[in-house]
Amino acid sequence: MKVKIIGAGSIGNHLAQASRRMGWNVVVVDTDPAALRRMREEIYPVRYGAWDSTITLVTPDKVKKGSFDMIMIGTPPHVRMKLALEALKEAPKILQLEKPLTMPFDPDLRRFIATYREQKKTKVVLGYDHALGKPIARVARLLKKKVIGEVLTLDVEFREHWQGIFKAHPWLSGPEDTYLGFWKKGGGASGEHSHALHLFQYLAKEAGLGSWTKLASALKVEKKGKAEYDSIAAFTIELSSGKLGRVVQDVVMLPTRKWLRVQGTSGFVEWLANGHPTGDIVRFSKNGGPVREEVFAKKRPDDFYEEMLHIQDILDKKIKASDSPISFESGLAVMEVLETAWKNPNQSFLPIRKI
């Protein structure tokens, strides 16, 4: 399995390490030689213990196109679609795009959708890896078994202060040094923490609540220097079943809170990321009985490894890419919510606009 990863930043390192855990051959490409050096000398050895000398680091002019089974694009969102269009020309079996899919109102997204749907060789998946971990799989199983009865509502929060992100990117001095400080580039709370929207969408379907149809949003926009971003993004969502739910994403909360709760007619299920010193917690209770708590030991790199295992299952035809929790369609649906919110900020219950 030959893998090309475009982008040597924090995500590129995670993807490379997870791919090497799979035993895959990895080439990392970046236009900036300093980023490649930083990956080899700083990020990778500090994060994972030692540099992996089997990983090839190159600039784009030194890599042969069309020779890879999978291409993963871990660049900032606002440059991703142009690279994705070029990647489709190489016809890999899998094209993995990081989240969010792109920036809001990207004209190249429409071109990509048309090009992708015309071809047959490549399957596209998104980097919403939280949906693939064992804790969320446990939540999904409980919902499918109707352990808590009929689901009444669903809440998801991804609330994390900037400092966690910038600790992982120490070469950046603040939001305006990167796309993170610009909602128009796919940054801000709504883009960067869109894992929450994606989890809401996935678990709503698993619970039989249908797909989202209407949206009420509140976006707290900050203008600091050149930066313009939403520090808090709150969404109330109406589903095709008529049920309501809520998603909150922010870049101000400290300590971090990544949490979800599903309330049913006879109980609840709750997930808390890093709720235990060794990993995540899933809690549930039914019929007023005692609360059961299960601990899932893991660290952040394990999420990316689970993603690679899942991609291998797609390649082995154990799972259809279109049925995957990280399907292209799931990432596109998140973009539809983001575009609806930014087209109509702080308005109530508008139809979610299709792309």
State the average pLDDT over residues 106-110: 97
**pLDDT value for 320:** 97
- 107 cis-preceded (ω within 30 degrees of 0): no
Residue 164 has pLDDT above 80, yes or no: no
Q: What is the pLDDT of residues 309-325, one digit of tens each?
A: 999 999 999 999 999 99
Distance CA(141)–CA(206), nearest Å, equals 8
Residue 110 has pLDDT above 90, yes or no: yes
Is residue 112's pLDDT more than 90? yes
Q: Where are the domains of the chain?
A: 2-126, 130-297+327-351
Beta bridge partners of 276: 279
Give phi and psi for 94, each to the nearest 5.
-130, 135
Say if CB 103 and CB 191 are below 8 A apart: yes
Of the candidates 75, 80, 56, 54, the residue with the CA atom closest to the CA atom of residue 67: 56
Q: What is the pLDDT of residues 23-65, one digit of tens each?
A: 999 999 999 999 999 999 999 999 999 999 999 999 999 999 9
Residue 107 sits at φ, ψ, to 5 deg, of -65, -25
Residue range 62-85: average pLDDT? 96
Instruction: Give the C-alpha separation, 79 to 101, whole Å.
Output: 10
Cα–chain center distance at 170: 21
Judged against a pLDDT cut of 80, whether residue 278 lies above it is answered with yes
Least confident segment among 159-173, 187-201, 280-294: 159-173
Q: Which residue has the tokens 């128009």?
A: 184
Residue 71 backbone phi and psi in degrees, to 5: -120, 130
The encoded tokens of residue 130 equal 């939280």
Residue 147 has pLDDT above 90, yes or no: yes
Confidence of residue 68 (pLDDT cuts 50, 70, 90): very high
* Cβ–Cβ < 8 Å for 189, 229: yes
Look at residue 347 in the predicted model and tell me its pLDDT: 84
- State residue 163's pLDDT score: 84
pLDDT band (50, 70, 90) for residue 171: confident
Name the nearest CA neighbour of 309 among 142, 129, 187: 129
Give domain 2-126's CATH superfamily.
NAD(P)-binding Rossmann-like Domain (3.40.50.720)
Those residues whose C-beta lies under 8 Å from the C-beta of residue 28, and which sit 6 or more positions away, are 4, 5, 7, 8, 12, 16, 36, 39, 55, 56, 57, 58
Q: Which residue has the higher pLDDT, 2 or 165?
A: 2
pLDDT at residue 165 in the model: 77
pLDDT at 99 over 80: yes
**Burial letters 175-209, b for 16+ CB under 10 A, else e:** beebbbbbbbbbbbbbbbbbbbbbbbbbbbbbbeb
The helix, strand and coil proportions of the chain, stated in percent and rounded to the nearest 5, come to 40, 30, 30
Q: Does position 231 have pLDDT exceeding 90, yes or no?
A: yes
Q: How confident is the model at residue 345 (pLDDT cuts 50, 70, 90)?
A: confident
- Tokens 């060789």 correspond to 121
Name the pLDDT band for 175 (thresholds 50, 70, 90). Answer: confident
pLDDT beyond 90 at 116: yes
Whole-number pLDDT of residue 315? 98
CATH of domain 130-297+327-351: 3.30.360.10
Instruction: Report pLDDT digits (tens) over 193-227.
Output: 999 999 999 999 999 999 999 999 999 999 999 99
> What's the pLDDT at 238?
98
DSSP 327: B
What pLDDT, on a 0 to 100 scale, did the predictor assign at position 270? 98
Q: Supply the mean pLDDT for the chain.
A: 96
DSSP 222-282: EEETTEEEEEEEEEEEEETTS-EEEEEEES--SS-EEEEEEEETTEEEEEEEEEETTEEEE
Neighbours of 80 (CB within 10 A): 27
pLDDT at residue 21, as a whole number: 98
pLDDT in the model for residue 132: 98
CA distance 155 to 259: 8
Q: What is the mean pLDDT of residues 72-93?
A: 97
What pLDDT band is residue 235 in, cutting at 50, 70 and 90?
very high
